[in-house]
Amino acid sequence: MNLYPLKFNPILKERLWGGSKLGDIFGKPIENDITGESWELSTVKGDISVVANGALAGSSLQDLIDTNAEALLGKSVVERFGKEFPILIKFIDAKQDLSIQLHPNDQLAKERHNSFGKTEMWYIMDADKDASLIVGFNKTVTKEEYQKSIENDTLIDLMNYEKVKEGDTFFINTGKIHAIGAGVVLAEIQQTSDVTYRVFDFNRKDKDGNYRELHTDLALDAMDYEKKDDFIVAYDKHKNVVNEMVNCPYFKTNYINLNDSLSQDVTQRDSFTIYMCVGGSATISNDLGTAKVKKGETVLLPANSKNITIETTDVTLLEVTI
């Protein structure tokens, strides 16, 4: 099968906390002003990405994997994950604060939900003045202290707030309590999982006047109660080269800022390659075709690509592999 660079139709998600920036900034075809997420690459059940470009337009990502697993994913990826796409790629617009939440690790997620855990990273694409994230506790707490804060509605007093600007990057381990703050637009790279334990939702009600479900008990044994300064990603921003950002067991992410063309021999990579365009535009090619991307778009190149060429005068990309 001719596995050229593949683009997919965005899967748009209404969220209580969502806004309109996915349409305003990126041109996503949103239908309302509470659109919180654009799922760019997904094989989550019920939300499977569909090819938008070229001869394979209309094919689902899962169907392509089922029929071309090693060519698309890479032999080593298939050995680890079978015919499951191990990454979920999103753009997120938080007009309001997201709930304070955490995600279980692989073991707990498997036992409780037959799912992967959810390790993730965030790259800030746009932020209002004084916008912030919650990442972790501001001190090490005991389980009992945490439970008392939930009972007394004082959890936010234990939270660590981080002001953010464009380009800031955060790595969120499983178990780390966190929330995206109002006024932040970001790119999210995560394990394929939709398992979230919501522990505080700012006492908000949904459009029907109901409080959203909290997962207080499930979170207790999944949470890391230690204060850890392990979440800010420091990375180089050298032009026209590949700069490593994150290298973890679940994904590897590089920062690429170009004002000229870049070619890479990826014969030995043995993984698919994802490019999230977080600034500018480019034409990205492999041996079998090309795709144009602009800010807010994503392209998937199959593992059997031998060479990848990026042609541009100005682009910033997040390059994601396994």
Sequence ranges of the domains in the chain: 11-220, 242-321
Q: Which of 3.20.20.10, 2.60.120.10, 3.90.79.10, 3.40.50.300 is the CATH number of 11-220?
A: 2.60.120.10
Annotated binding-site residues for Zn(2+) read 103, 120, 178
Nearest to 224 by CA among 269, 259, 161, 178: 178
3-state secondary structure of 24: helix
Annotated binding-site residues read 103, 120, 178
Angle at 23 between CA 20 and CA 27, to 5 degrees: 170
Cα distances (angstroms) measured from residue 171 to each of 33, 122, 184, 307: 28, 7, 16, 29
- Residue carrying structure tokens 């707990």: 108
pLDDT per residue as tens, the chain (322 positions): 799 999 999 999 999 999 999 999 999 999 999 999 999 999 999 999 999 999 999 999 999 999 999 999 999 999 999 999 999 999 999 999 999 999 999 999 999 999 989 999 999 999 999 999 999 999 999 999 999 999 999 999 999 999 999 999 999 999 999 999 999 999 999 999 989 999 999 988 888 889 989 999 999 999 999 999 999 999 999 999 999 999 999 999 999 999 999 999 999 999 999 999 999 999 999 999 999 999 999 999 999 999 999 999 999 999 999 9
Q: How far apart are alpha carbons 304 and 72 in whole angstroms?
A: 7
Domains 11-220 and 242-321 agree in fold = yes
For β-strands 11-19 and 35-41, DSSP reports them as: antiparallel
Catalytic residues: 198
Q: What is the pTM of this model?
A: 0.96
Nearest to 176 by CA among 138, 221, 137: 137
Which secondary-structure segment (H or E) carries 49? none
Q: How far apart are alpha carbons 193 and 103 in whole angstroms?
A: 9
Domain 242-321 has what CATH class?
mainly beta
